[in-house]
Structure 1
Amino acid sequence: MSIETDAGTIEQDVETLGRQLGEAIEQLPEYRELQEAKAAVEESENAQERIDEFEQLRQEFMLARQTGDASQEDLRELQEAQSELHEIPVMAEYLEAQNRLDARLEAINDAISEPLDIDFGEEAGGCCED
């Protein structure tokens, strides 16, 4: 692709390439697998109940922590609920699919960052940060 010296044209080219990259990412097997796994979690009554329970515990823990009333037992209970949630087969598959996509996006970030003197994903507020 030839890049003209006109700044407006360069900006348009970069934005067009960005859109094309986004569309290409949508076609990645890792992306499609994550979308399928997400749909399975959303359709699972058991997973949704466990997510609601975990979110309730997490909110209670955060409030207790803010008021200084959180105990190690509260933290242990929250961690156990999260572990049980992650053991549900549809949730485990979702998390695995998410990890596979994260790894692929990190490789894409590395390819974009290589010619730059910055970490593109980090500078762009990307999804690949921990």
Structure 2
Amino acid sequence: MSTQVSQLEAMGRELGEAIADTPAYERFEEARAAVQDDDDAQAKIAEVERLRDEFVAARETGEATQEHVAKLQQAQNELHSMDVMVEYLNAQEALQSQLEAINVAISEPLSVDFGGEAGGCCQD
């Protein structure tokens, strides 16, 4: 591995450490821990996942109904209205915004948006 690549990897680690020290990341980590420690939130997450799995299975067999969709949406709405989840989603959005700004700063001199590319090549 070349010295230049090693230096770039070291800079990447430093950037990661600097991001981890930001208030946005710390808020996100605290919110995530709060969700993980909240029994009611964990129960609702499990319910949403179960309903999602049921819906996907029903859709694959052609048996999905509006009732499946309505139950899943209701459970998701209930989950997202929980105070602990509201804080988590807000913290996640703030961190994502910060990371997008960092991606723009990294990508700008390269004329390529590596964070925004999703496997496509050479499209304008």
- When normalised by structure 1's length, the TM-score is 0.86
Q: Distance in 2 between matches of 1:21 and 1:123?
A: 21
What letter matches 1:103 in structure 2? S
Task: Give the CA deviation at 1:76.
Answer: 1.7
Residue aligning to 1:98? 92
Residue aligning to 1:60? 54
Residue aligning to 1:14? 8
Task: Give the CA deviation at 1:123.
Answer: 4.4
What letter matches 2:114 in structure 1? F
What runs of 5+ residues in structure 1 fail to find an aligned partner? 1-6, 126-130
Residue aligning to 2:32? 38
Identity level (%): 54
Bigger relative CO (Cα 8 Å, ≥ 6 apart): 2
Task: Give the CA deviation at 1:46.
Answer: 0.7
Supply the RMSD in Å over aligned alpha carbons.
1.5
**TM superposition outliers: structure 1 runs of 4+ over 2 Å:** 122-125
Residue aligning to 2:22? 28
What letter matches 1:49 in structure 2? A
Task: Give the CA deviation at 1:39.
Answer: 0.7
* Closer, same or farther: CA 59–124 of 1 in aligned 2, 3 Å: closer
Q: Distance in 2 between matches of 1:67 and 1:24?
A: 48
Number of aligned pairs? 119
SS of alignment partner, residue 62 of structure 2: coil
